[in-house]
Amino acid sequence: MRHHDLVQMTEHDKSAPIVPEISKIPDASALEALLPLVRKPGQYVGLEYNAISAKKGALQEAQLNFCLIFPDLYEIGMSHQGLQILYHILNQQEDFCAHRAYTPDTDMEALLRKKGMPLFSLEAGVPLAKYDVLGITLPYELCYTNILTVLDLAGLPLYSRERNQSHPLVLGGGSCAFNPEPVADFFDAILLGDGEEAIVEIANLLHAVKKNKISRKEMLKQLSAVQGLYVPSLFKPQYSEDGRLQSVEALEPGHTSVRRAILPALDSGELQHRPLVPAVKPVHDRLAMEIARGCTRGCRFCQAGILYRPVRERSMADILTWAEKGIEASGFEEMALLSLSTGDYSCLDELVLTLMNRFSPCRVALSMPSMRVGTLSPAIMEQIRRVRKTGFTIAPEAGSERLRQVINKGITEEDLLDTCHNAFSLGWNLIKFYFMTGLPTETEADVGAIATLVRKAKAQAQTKNRSGNRRGIQINVGVGTFVPKAHTPFQWEEQLSLEASKERIQLLKRLLPPKGFKLKWHDPEQSYLEGVFARGDRRLSALIEEAWRQGARLDSWGEHFQLARWQEAAKDCDIELDAYLRKRSSEELLPWDHLDCGVERAFLLAERERALTRQYTSDCRTDGCQGCGICDFKTVQPVLHNSPAPATAHKRPESGAIQQGKGLSYRVHYQRSANSRLLGHLELLQLIFRSLRRAGMPLAYTQGFNPTPKVSFSQALPVGMESLAEYFDMELRRPISLNSSLIESLNRELPSGLEVHSISLAPKKNAACARASYSVHLSGHLNGHLGSHDPAALDAKISAFLACEHFPITRLRKNRETSFDMRPLIAAMRLDEDVLELSLIHHQGLPGVNPREVLEKVFGFSQEEALLCRIVKRESVDMPVPA
C-alpha cells in the first residue's frame, strides 16, 4: 500500500477510536485468513520454536499477563536479546505470563485499520488491550512513532493521563530510557537499568494490585518505590519564557530523582538455554550469548559504556553449558558471543578454542560482532574461520590519531594495520570499517585521515593471502554522524549541522577511490532527527504525535523516513528542531538530570576536559578505579572470571570435520496446513534445516566457504497455499531406521501445521515432470459466496479454455514482459459446486503455472480474490515427459 494512503487512514479526530471496542472485534482467526494479502505473513502468526504454548484467544485471569512489544518490525525485534531475557524470566514464574508483539509493517497496519481489527499478540492471538501490562522496549530514538502505532492499534489512548483503570499499564525500558522525556507522556512507568530482578519485583507488585483492585493513582505511587522505576507523571518540567528548561518539579515529596537498577552479577544464562527460534529470518539469526555486560574502556562518545557499567562477566563454564544446551534446543548454525567489547572477556582465547573444538565438527560457526582492535588476535581469527568466515568489522571511529585520543579510543594506527594484515593473511577478502564524522574538535584534516587510513589498510593485503590471491580485496567504509547522547562526557557538545554532515560525506566520496572501496553512510537526515530526540524534552511528545498523524512510520528505515514531514510537523507545533542540536552550558539543567545513571556528573565533566587536552583515561579493569562513582564495592563492583573451564574441556576431537563419505538419501513426505502455509519457501528451508538438526539427523553438508545441509525440496509452494503432498530429500552420513518413532521425533521439532507422514529411500533420479492436483475453494474467503463470479459463467470459461490449443499470457519479470503459453501445463479443469479441481503439469527447472495464475488469467479473478481463495495441493504424481 502506498504511504499516502496510510496517511489518509491516520488523520482522524483525536477522540475517535481507531479500532472498534474490544468486545466487538473479530478474533485472530479472522485475521489469519487475510494474511496472504501482506508481505511476509509468517511473522504475524507465532510459529517460533521454543515460544510458550498458549490457548488461542484466551488469557488466564488469575495470572498477571504481559505482552512484550518491540517497536519495530519483526526482523529487528526478534534479534533483540533484552526482550527475550524478560520473556523467559516472566514465563518461568507460575503467576505471570508473557507473550510478544512487534510493530506491523505498513501494509499490515493498513489491513488492520481497513478491517477494524486491533493488533494481536503472537502466542495467543489476543488483542493487546486485554493484557495487564504492555512492556515496550525503547531501543533507539527513531522508533518513537512506532510506539504510537502500537498503542493506537491496541485501541488505547496515546497519553498516560488519558488512560484509566480499564487499560493495561504501559511500561517502558531500554537504552533510551535514560532520556525518555520525548516519549515520557506516553508511558505510565519506565525502567532505568537492568531488568532481570526489577521485572520480577514489578510483576509481583502489579499482581497484588490486580488481586486487590488498587486504584491506578495508588498503583503508580507504589511502582515509584521500585529501584530504577521512573513514573513520569510524578515529575513536572517547568520552562522559562525563552523556552529553556528551568526546573523539573517533583510532585511526590522526597522523590526527587530515580537511580538506575543495577544487577550485581549475571546469572548462569540457564533461562535462555531454549532460545526463541524465528519463523521469518531476522537481521541476526543465531544463538546469541551475552558473555559479559558493561564496558569500562571509556570511549567518551559511547552512551552504552556509561549506562551498562560495571563490567560483569559470565563464567566460561556457564557459557559452554549455554552453548551446548542452546544449540541442541534451537538447531542454529551460528552462535554469537555478545558484549560491548567481546575481545576484553578474560578467558576469550580459551573460550573460543573450546567452542570451536566442540562445534566446528557440527558445522556451527562462531561470530563475535563487537571485537576491539588489539584484542582480535591471529589465534582467535584462526579459530573463527574453521567453519565459515563470519563478518569482520573494525571500528576506529576516527581517522586520525589525534581525534582517537580526544574520544579516548585507545588504539593506534599500528594496531589497526596489524589487525588488517592478519585478517587478509588468514583469507578474509572483505573488511568493514566504521567511522563517525562530527566528533568534538574534528577538522577537515581528520575527515581526510579516514581515506588515508583505509588506503593503508588495503595495502596490508599486498602480500599474498593463503589462496595466493592479491585481487578481490574489498574495504567497506561505513560512516555515521556523531550524535551527542545523554549521560556521556559529550552530552553538552554541539551536533554537526545537517548541511555540514552532508558536506563530510561528499568529501569522503571525492577522497576514496572507487576501485576496492565501497562507501556507505547513515543518512544525515536520520542522524539529525536522532539528535533532536537524544537530548530532547517532553515538549517533543506533541511533535511525535503530529508527525505520526501526518504519516510518519518506521523512521529507522530509509524507504519510509521523510525529514520534510517532521519539519512540517515541527512548524505546526511551533518547535525549532535546530535548537536541540546546540551546545549546552555545563551549568544548564538538562532534561534527564533527575534520572541518575550511577556515573557522577563530576566524572563526566572531568572526562570532557580530558578530551580537550587529549588525556587518556585507563580501563579500571587493568589500572584501578577511575572514580566514575558506579561501584560501592559491596554489592556493585566489577565481576571478572580469569579462570578458564577445566582442562578436559579443551581436548580437541580426533576429527575436526564431519566424515562425509558416500551418503544415503531419504525422501520425507509431509504436509503444510494452517499457519505454516504462510511461510515463504526460504523460510521453510531454514525451518526444516533446524528441525533436522534438533532431531539429531546425521546430515551431510556441502563443502566450501559456507557449508549447508544437503537437502533438496520439491517445487516451491506459493505463500498461503496448503499441501498434502510435499517432500524433501535429505542426504545423511549414515543409515537410519525407518520407523514410526523417527517420524514422531521429527514432528516434535516441527511447528503446528507441518507434519511428516512418511519417510522412504529417495529415488536415485528425480522425475523431470510431475502432475499435481489442486482443490481451489472459490468461496473460502469471498464472503461465503462466489461474489461476482457466476458458476455458469465459470463453467463457460472452463469449456472455452479446454477447447483452446494455446492460451498465451503475458508475465512481468524483472521489469520485462514475456509471453508464455499456459495451456499445455493445464491437464484438467472442472468445477464442482464452489470447488475448482485443477491438474497442473510441473516440469523440473522450467517455468510453470500455479492455481492463482489460473484464477486470474482464465477466470478474471482480481489478485486479492485469488489470494483469498483456499487452495490445497492434494497429490503430486511423477510422470514421463510428454512427447
pLDDT digits over 541-553, tens only?
A: 999 999 999 999 9
- Report the alpha-carbon distance of residue 601 to residue 62 in Å, rounded: 45
Q: Residue 23 pLDDT more than 70? A: no
671 and 875 in contact (C-beta within 8 Å)? no
Q: Which helix (H) or strand (E) holds 344?
A: none
pLDDT for residue 738: 92
Cell numbers that stand for 391 in this block: 563478518
What confidence category does residue 844 fall into, taking pLDDT thresholds of 50, 70 and 90? confident
Residue among 697, 736, 743 nearest 362 (CA): 697
Phi, psi angle pair for 548, to nearest 5°: -65, -45
| 786 vs 798: CA distance, rounded Å | 16
Q: Calculate the CA 392 to chain-centre distance.
A: 20
**Chain segment 256-280, per-residue pLDDT in tens:** 999 999 999 999 999 999 999 999 9
Element (H, E) at 532: helix 524-534
Q: Give the DSSP letter of residue 626.
A: -
Per DSSP, the three-state class of 828 is strand
Q: Give the CA diameter of the chain.
A: 90
CA distance linking residue 811 with residue 795, whole number of Å: 25
Output the pLDDT for position 15: 36
Distance of alpha carbon 122 from alpha carbon 138, whole angstroms: 20
Pairing of strands 235-239, 292-293: unpaired
CA distance to 51, 379, 414, 878, per residue, from 43 (Å): 13, 40, 46, 34
Contact 478, 436 (CB under 8 A): no
Name the nearest CA neighbour of 149 among 168, 136, 167, 165: 136
Contact in structure between 141 and 529 (CB atoms under 8 Å): yes
Q: Are 338 and 523 in contact (CB under 8 A)?
A: no
CA distances 707 to 19, 303, 314, 333, 365, Å, are 48, 38, 31, 10, 10
Per-residue pLDDT tens for 501-554? 999 999 999 999 888 999 999 999 999 999 999 999 999 999 999 999 999 999
CA atoms within 13 A on the CB side of 342: 22
The residue with greater pLDDT, 260 or 833, is 260
The yes-or-no verdict on residue 463 having pLDDT over 70 is no
Report whether pLDDT(467) > 70: no
**Is 270:315 a contact under the CB 8 Å cutoff?**
no
Range 81-105 average pLDDT: 97
Query: Model's pTM, two decimal places?
Result: 0.93
The arithmetic mean of pLDDT across residues 568-595, rounded, is 97
| Average confidence (pLDDT) over 340-358 | 93
For the ranges 87-91, 327-331, 395-399, 420-424, the lowest mean pLDDT is seen at: 420-424
pLDDT tens digit sequence for 732-786: 999 999 999 999 999 999 999 999 999 999 998 888 899 999 999 987 554 444 5
Rounded to whole angstroms, how far apart are CA atoms 660 and 503? 55
- How many Å apart are CA 51 and CA 100, to the nearest integer? 9
Cell for 238? 517547568
Cell numbers 499456459 correspond to 822
CA distances from 849 to 771, 827, 830, 840 (A): 12, 12, 17, 8
Q: Could you tell me if 398 and 435 are in contact, meaning their C-beta atoms sit under 8 angstroms apart?
A: yes
Cell numbers at 578, concatenated = 535546530
C-alpha cell at position 566: 517532521
Is 523 within 8 Å of 505 (Cβ atoms)? no
Does the pLDDT value for residue 11 go beyond 50? no
In 3D space, the residue among 331, 320, 336, 480 whose CA is nearest the CA of residue 398 turns out to be: 480
Straight-line distance from the first to the last Cα atom of the chain, in angstroms, rounded to the nearest whole number: 45
CA distance linking residue 863 with residue 858, whole number of Å: 13
Neighbours of 677 (CB within 10 A): 26
CA proximity to 515, closest of 471, 556, 549: 471
Mean pLDDT to the nearest integer, 233-253: 94
Using the CB atoms, write b or e for 220-235: b if 16+ within 10 Å: bbebbebebbbbbbbb
What is residue 785's predicted lDDT score, i.e. its pLDDT?
Answer: 46
pLDDT for res 357: 94
pLDDT over 90 (residue 880): no
Rama region for 607: left / alpha / beta (φ>0; ψ in -120 to 50; rest): alpha
* 3-class secondary structure, 161: helix
pLDDT of residue 144: 98
pLDDT of residue 652: 41
Question: Lowest-pLDDT range, 174-178, 400-404, 789-793?
Answer: 789-793
* Residue 654 pLDDT exceeds 60: no
Q: Cis check for the bond before 278: say yes or no (omega within 30 of 0).
A: no
How far is Cα 103 from Cα 33, in angstroms, rounded to an integer?
Answer: 20
Secondary structure (3-state) at 110 = helix
- Residues 6+ away with beta carbon under 8 Å from 246: 238, 239, 240, 589
Q: Under a CB-based contact definition with an 8 Å cutoff, are residues 187 and 215 in contact?
A: no
Q: Is 396 left (phi over 0), alpha (psi -120 to 50) or beta?
A: alpha
Is the separation of the CB atoms in 133 and 171 below 8 Å?
Answer: yes
Q: Where are the alpha helices (DSSP H) in 159-312?
A: 196-212, 216-223, 303-307
Residue 685 and residue 39: Cα distance in Å, rounded?
Answer: 18
**Residue closest to 313 by CA, chosen among 334, 340, 332, 288:** 340
Which of 424-438, 443-457, 655-669, 691-705 has maximum average pLDDT? 443-457
Q: What are the start-end ranges of the E strands in 103-260?
A: 133-137, 169-173, 189-191, 229-230, 235-239, 245-250, 258-259
Q: What percent of the chain shows pLDDT beyond 70?
A: 92
> What is the C-alpha separation between 634 and 262, in angstroms, rounded?
13
Residue 679 · residue 279 · CB < 8 Å: yes
Q: What percent of the chain has a predicted confidence (pLDDT) above 90?
A: 80
Distance in angstroms (rounded) separating the CA atoms of residues 519 and 530: 22
Provide the grid cell at 390.
563470519
Pairing of strands 835-843, 769-777: antiparallel
Beta bridge partners, 871, equal: 776
Does residue 204 sit in helix, strand or coil? helix
Please, are residues 850 and 820 in contact by the beta-carbon 8 Å criterion?
no
* Parallel/antiparallel/unpaired status of strands 133-137 and 64-70: parallel
pLDDT at 882 over 60: no
Looking up cell 532481570 gives 196
Mean pLDDT, the chain, rounded, equals 91
Question: Can you read off the three cell numbers belonging to residue 717?
Answer: 509452494
